[in-house]
Amino acid sequence: MHFQGFRHRFRPWFIVWLTVMWCLLMGDVSWANVFGGLAVGCLIVFLLPLPAMPVAGISISWGEFIRFCFRWVADLFYASVKVAWLAIRPQAPPKTAILELPMRLENEFILSLAVTLYNLQPGGTVTDIDIANRMLTIHVLDADSDSHLEREIAAVARLEASLISIFERSHP
């Protein structure tokens, strides 16, 4: 019985990934860092097990994914310039707002991916997730006008639609 728990926890690719991350953090690929990374990876996997992610039944539309990546990077650049301008412009700081927006994403893994992608973009932050009702509470940096709020709501809707087209499209 105890051996089954050990077998369930053993995730070799995750240990390899943690080892790579360890070597990147150390800044050098040496035998000592590789073995140290393997040791740290094994300790994390066996002593601090993560719950299994609900990824069964997810398929990826690779073409949509690649298009989304290019669009997301372009949006990242635009948002970074916009927030930088808000920080250095010779005006008062912009008004902020809190929005509650519904999400139609069915899978919790994809919902967490949406929250992560949104939080990585400058200008807004998800402050709360109501998983049962699929609602996000978002803090928006630039809410000086209704058009700014509508643009932010549209950005969240675009993110949601993109993730649905990538992961949750209907299968024939």
Distance CA 78, CA 75 (A): 5
pLDDT at 5 over 70: no
120-131 burial, b for 16+ CB within 10 Å, e for fewer? ebbbbebeebee
Query: What is the overall mean pLDDT for the chain?
Result: 87
pLDDT at 172 over 60: no
What's the pLDDT tens digit per position in 66-102?
999 999 999 999 999 999 999 999 998 889 999 999 9
Start-to-end C-alpha separation, the chain:
41
pLDDT at 1 over 50: no
Inter-axis angle of helices 31-47 and 12-26, nearest 10: 130
Residues 6-23, mean pLDDT to the nearest whole number: 81
User: In this predicted model, which residue has the larger pLDDT, 23 or 48?
Assistant: 23
Task: Kindly report the number of other CB atoms within 10 A of residue 159's CB atom.
Answer: 22
What's the pLDDT tens digit per position in 50-66?
776 666 677 888 999 99
Q: What pTM did the predictor assign?
A: 0.71
> Which of these ranges, 25-34, 98-107, 139-148, 161-170, has the smallest mean pLDDT?
161-170
pLDDT reported for residue 59:
83
Residues 13-34, mean pLDDT to the nearest whole number: 90
pLDDT reported for residue 78:
94
pLDDT reported for residue 107:
83
What's the pLDDT tens digit per position in 104-142?
888 888 898 999 999 999 988 999 999 889 999 999 998
Distance CA 102, CA 132 (A): 11
